[in-house]
Amino acid sequence: MPAIQVKNLKKYFGKTRAVDDISFDVEAGEIFGFLGPNGAGKTTTIRCMLDFIRPTEGKVEILNKNAQCASVELKNEIGYLSGNARFYDKWTGAEHIDFAKALVKKPDISQDLCERFDFNVDSKIKNLSSGNRQKLGVILAFMFQPKILILDEPTNALDPILQNEVYGLIQHLAKAGSTVFMSSHNLAEVERICHRIGIIRKGKMAAIESIQTLKDKRMQLVQVAFNDKFSIPEFNFDGVQVVKNLGDRLVLNVKGDINPLIKKISQHSIKDLHIEHVPLEEIFLEFYEK
């Protein structure tokens, strides 16, 4: 049974269809990336999942419970990090952490997390930088090692070292059985830690793919220099496109399996060969633009 099920979810604000009949499942222990351009419906979907707003139609189930009917019960099983976390300016970090402990009343690892992120719990929120506020948001989301993590831009404002710490935490909890649903604009981090991704555009799901499937689809740029004669037509076949003819060398785009091209190239005497992977970001952009 999936840990998260979203079925035919719709959320309309007047004539605006913020989320328009989307469905997806997230398996237990999976790290699922939720991607899309600004205004695509990512945050609205998350708010419906957390019962902050009610769907126009459709259903959300988390841990096999209706997200609306069991809203209060599920809050004890969910760690949430908002993309625009707000805190009480006059409180310290310690006061926020103590408040969370009083609400949830479960064993926590807040002290370990504060040390791990070098977070000063005694500073008032109004004196904290955006990076330190993000640290507090991460600590509050992870401190009870929840069964479900819902993260909206989890590494926003963090330096690369702290980003790696967050990735490590996410992967550790997923290996322990927690389910992670994360919205992110950082495509490099999505490629690095997610198992699958869902792409939403204009309120509709554009694709749901495994990261490995996307990697298999990615394009490669091949530059090959020849010692002998070659012809352009022999390099025009499925998945291969000649981009430039530079006399003694060709520049080719390869989509999918590169082995047929390598076999063709091996029939010639080669002076030089260079293969460059096109970033996964370009595949995501294709989905955004279609």
Q: What is the pLDDT of residues 188-229, one digit of tens each?
A: 889 899 999 999 999 999 999 998 888 777 788 999 999 999
**Which two tokens mark 33?**
């990336």
The Cα 261–Cα 282 span in angstroms is 22
What per-residue confidence (pLDDT) applies to 56?
Answer: 98
> In which residue are the tokens 């030089």 written?
272
User: What would the mean pLDDT of 277-287 be, rounded to a whole number?
Assistant: 71
**Which two tokens mark 232?**
């352009």
What per-residue confidence (pLDDT) applies to 213?
Answer: 84
Task: State the first-to-last Cα distance of the chain, in angstroms, to the nearest integer.
Answer: 32
| Residues paired with 34 in a beta bridge | 183, 198
254: three-class secondary structure by DSSP: strand
| CATH, range 218-289 | 3.30.70.250
Closest Cα to residue 257, out of 207, 219, 212, 211? 219
What rounded mean pLDDT belongs to the chain? 93
Cβ–Cβ contacts within 10 Å for residue 186, how many?
A: 16
What per-residue confidence (pLDDT) applies to 38?
Answer: 86
Q: What is the pLDDT of residues 87-123, one digit of tens each?
A: 999 999 999 999 999 999 999 999 999 999 999 999 9
- 288 has pLDDT over 80: no
- The model's pTM is 0.84
6 band by pLDDT with thresholds 50, 70 and 90: very high
CB 219 within 8 A of CB 255: yes
**Which two tokens mark 1?**
């049974």
- 145 has pLDDT over 80: yes
What per-residue confidence (pLDDT) applies to 215?
Answer: 74
The domain made up of 4-87+145-214 has a fold known as Rossmann fold (3.40.50)
Looking at the chain, the whole-number percentage of residues with pLDDT higher than 70 is 98
CB 166 within 8 A of CB 193: no
CB 138 within 8 A of CB 125: no
267 band by pLDDT with thresholds 50, 70 and 90: very high
Q: What is the pLDDT of residues 60-70, one digit of tens each?
A: 999 999 999 99
The b-or-e profile of 97-123 (16+ CB within 10 A means b, else e) is beebeeebeeebebeebbebbebebee
232: three-class secondary structure by DSSP: coil
- Span of 42-46, 154-158, 213-217 with lowest mean pLDDT: 213-217
The Cα 158–Cα 116 span in angstroms is 14
CB 114 within 8 A of CB 174: no
SS (H, E, C) 174-221: HHCCCEEEEECCCHHHHHHHCCEEEEEECCEEEEEEEHHHHHHHCEEE
What per-residue confidence (pLDDT) applies to 134?
Answer: 97
What per-residue confidence (pLDDT) applies to 290?
Answer: 63
Q: 4-87+145-214 with 218-289: one CATH topology? A: no
Looking at the chain, the whole-number percentage of residues with pLDDT higher than 90 is 82
Query: CA angle 202-203-204, nearest 5°?
Result: 95
| Domain edges within the chain | 4-87+145-214, 218-289
User: What would the mean pLDDT of 71-75 be, rounded to a whole number?
Assistant: 96
| 103-107, long-range: CB < 8 A, 24+ apart | 104/76, 104/144, 106/76, 106/144, 107/144
Q: Indicate the angle between helix axes 160-175 and 130-142, nearest 10 degrees.
A: 10
The Cα 72–Cα 100 span in angstroms is 15
